[in-house]
Amino acid sequence: MPEKDTPAFNSFSADKPAALQDIRVLDLTTEMGVYCTKLLADLGADVIRVESPKGNPARSLGPYYHDESDPQRSLFHFHFNTNKRSITLNLENPDAREVLKKLVKSAEVLVESFPVGYMAKLGLDYDSLKKLNPGLIYCSISGFGQEGPYSKYKAPDIVGVAMGGLMYLGGYPDEAPFYPGAFQGYHLASVDAAIGILIALYHRDLTGEGQHVDMSMEESVCEAIEMGMVLWDVRKVVRKRTGRRVFRDWNEVFPCEDGYVMCSPFGGAGWQKIFEWVDSEGKAADLKEPIYQQALKVMAWGQMDVAALPPDIDKELLTKNPQLVTHIEEVWQQFLMTHTREELFKNCQERDVRLMPIYDSKDIYEDPQMVERNFFVDVKHPELNATIKYPGGPYRFKDTPWRIKSRAPLIGEHNPELYEKELGMSKDEIAILKKSGGI
């Protein structure tokens, strides 16, 4: 990847204070919530990842660096734990819980994603810990929230996307709902949890009071599914799976010479401009005929808006003649196969028509826009004798930059730093705690 000059809003500047550099976060999350604490850590918060002596279970998620199955080499762990420190504590051990309570006194935020009721059983719930630190922001991320008839049900990611409504919209209308994968429910809950924590911190700055932030994955997914809920409330219509028919009732995802693009046949509302381009290359076939010109006008509006068509256009044209759509899509497809994604994207941008190349991870990595903005950053892994590129921040700040300062921690890497130097524990105390299974 070529070197680029540092842009004015480069988020990786090391000479400015980070937005959350005075905030300490205790991270007691699993896969659900780990992205929340990453967002805070990459904004400068001192995030202390509290793991079991064997390491957080999320370290067992592959793939692994060089395919070597090892909790210290999980790429999932690498990505979601940048800038964090790691200590080990067995919360089932009473002495270990006392150590955590000492850390709570110096923390601004605690984030946990244990089953509802687990922390209360250990005496580590919000009501117990706020006595030690009244200003504590305590965030609980769970499948359904801390209250309600489902609150204590188990809820992996698939439950959140299924019951939150996202899964129903995925896939093709004539097939079963499709699970999107990639922990979409967990990550949506994490983003909302991070926002909730920032709001609670602002409230604390104004009032000095901490509070409990109760985050439901089901609710996070539900509020993110576009206008699905409003469509039901206003029109009593259940939004359906669309497959490739994303915005209109016609296919919008097509293969081209080197991949896939997303675009309505002839660009939706911009179909005239696309048609002129297709025709200029002699590839419009018989689409100049009046019947197809009429069909293209109807397709540009889409089935839901046919009522708004001019009176001289047969609104039932495509319903009565579905073969017209099939033929138009075939001609469009033949044209697309003669061009690359980049050619199509560039020409449609020049014509002010919506067409987007569909990228995989390699495409994103090599995208000139990403390269120009220095989106990917190098992170050193000394123990691997390697440097790995990571995605950059989802936002940029001129004065309080986002940055990755360190790779994800090894299991318990910061035990000496926290236990000896900060809490003042002697080596004998630490040895006794370790012998009892506490760390």
What would the pLDDT profile of 301-351 be if each residue is shown by its tens digit? 765 555 666 777 787 888 899 999 999 999 999 999 999 999 999 999 999
Same domain, 65 and 199: yes
Q: Alpha-carbon Rg of the chain, whole angstroms?
A: 27
Query: 108 lies in which domain range?
Result: 24-227+375-435
**pLDDT recorded at residue 364:** 96
**pLDDT recorded at residue 309:** 67
pLDDT band at 4 (very low <50, low <70, confident <90, very high): very low
Q: Which residue has the tokens 């937005």?
A: 19
Same domain, 340 and 381: no
Same domain, 272 and 132: no
**pLDDT recorded at residue 2:** 43
Per the domain annotation, does 5 fall within a domain?
no
Question: Residue 365: pLDDT above 80?
Answer: yes
Mean pLDDT, to the nearest integer, of 122-127?
98
**pLDDT recorded at residue 271:** 85
| 399 compared with 309, residue with greater pLDDT | 399
| 296 compared with 99, residue with greater pLDDT | 99
Please give the C-alpha separations between residue 271 and each of 177, 288, 304, 333, in angstroms, as whole numbers.
Answer: 32, 13, 18, 14
Out of 125-134, 241-250, 342-351, least confident range = 241-250
Same domain, 40 and 165: yes
Q: Are the CB atoms for 243 and 58 separated by under 8 Å?
A: no
Mean pLDDT, to the nearest integer, of 32-42?
98
Mean pLDDT, to the nearest integer, of 386-397?
93
| 270 compared with 285, residue with greater pLDDT | 285
**pLDDT recorded at residue 14:** 62
Per the domain annotation, does 335 fall within a domain?
yes
> Strand (E) positions, 159-289?
211-216, 253-256, 259-262
Q: How far apart are CA 243 and CA 264, in angstroms?
A: 13
Pull the structure tokens for residue 113: 């994603």
Nearest of 27, 35, 88 to residue 410 by alpha carbon? 88
Q: Are the CB atoms for 435 and 49 separated by under 8 Å?
A: no
DSSP string, 126-167: HHHHTTT-TT-EEEEEESS-SSSTTTTS---HHHHHHHTSTG
**pLDDT recorded at residue 1:** 43
**Of 310, 329, 363, which one is at a domain's C-terminal end?**
363
Question: Residue 60: pLDDT above 90?
Answer: yes
Mean residue pLDDT of the chain comes to: 91
- Enumerate the β-bridge partners of residue 212: 138
Per the domain annotation, does 358 fall within a domain?
yes
| 72 compared with 250, residue with greater pLDDT | 72
Question: Residue 405: pLDDT above 50?
Answer: yes
Q: Are the CB atoms for 93 and 78 separated by under 8 Å?
A: no
Q: How far apart are CA 119 and CA 73, in angstroms?
A: 29
Per the domain annotation, does 233 fall within a domain?
no
Question: Residue 110: pLDDT above 80?
Answer: yes
Per the domain annotation, does 117 fall within a domain?
yes
DSSP state of 116: T
Q: Based on the structure, what is the number of domains in the chain? A: 2
Question: Residue 126: pLDDT above 50?
Answer: yes
Mean pLDDT, to the nearest integer, of 13-22?
84
Q: Which residue has the tokens 């409003």?
A: 230
Q: How far apart are CA 398 and CA 316, in angstroms?
A: 54
Please give the C-alpha separations between residue 50 and each of 161, 213, 261, 285, 414, in angstroms, as whole numbers.
Answer: 27, 19, 44, 65, 10
| 251 compared with 105, residue with greater pLDDT | 105
Record the pTM. Answer: 0.89
pLDDT band at 112 (very low <50, low <70, confident <90, very high): very high
Please give the C-alpha separations between residue 353 and each of 71, 264, 284, 431, in angstroms, as whole numbers.
Answer: 48, 10, 18, 67
**pLDDT recorded at residue 306:** 59
Question: Residue 135: pLDDT above 80?
Answer: yes
- Enumerate the β-bridge partners of residue 24: 46
**Of 343, 363, 383, which one is at a domain's C-terminal end?**
363
**Of 363, 391, 412, which one is at a domain's C-terminal end?**
363
- Give CA torsion, residues 294, 297, 301, 306, to 10 deg: -30
Q: Are the CB atoms for 57 and 21 separated by under 8 Å?
A: no
Mean pLDDT, to the nearest integer, of 148-165?
96
**pLDDT recorded at residue 304:** 52
| 366 compared with 252, residue with greater pLDDT | 366
Same domain, 153 and 302: no
Pull the structure tokens for residue 34: 């780990």
**pLDDT recorded at residue 234:** 83
**pLDDT recorded at residue 431:** 95
pLDDT band at 247 (very low <50, low <70, confident <90, very high): low
Mean pLDDT, to the nearest integer, of 72-83?
97
Nearest of 353, 382, 356, 388 to residue 369 by alpha carbon? 356
Q: How many helices, marked H, and strands, marked E, lie in the chain?
A: 18, 11
Same domain, 357 and 394: no
**pLDDT recorded at residue 249:** 67
Peptide bond preceding 63 in cis form (omega within 30 of 0): yes
Same domain, 339 and 190: no
Pairing of strands 211-216, 253-256: unpaired
Burial of 252 (0-12, 13-18, 19+ CB in 10 A): buried
Same domain, 63 and 186: yes
DSSP state of 65: G
Q: How far apart are CA 28 and CA 46, in angstroms?
A: 14
**pLDDT recorded at residue 244:** 72
**pLDDT recorded at residue 8:** 46
Q: How far apart are CA 316 and CA 306, in angstroms?
A: 9
Please give the backbone phi and psi of residue 95, each rounded to the nearest 5 degrees, phi first. -65, -35
Question: Residue 275: pLDDT above 70?
Answer: yes
Render pLDDT for 318-328 as a digit per residue (tens, 0 to 9): 889 999 999 99
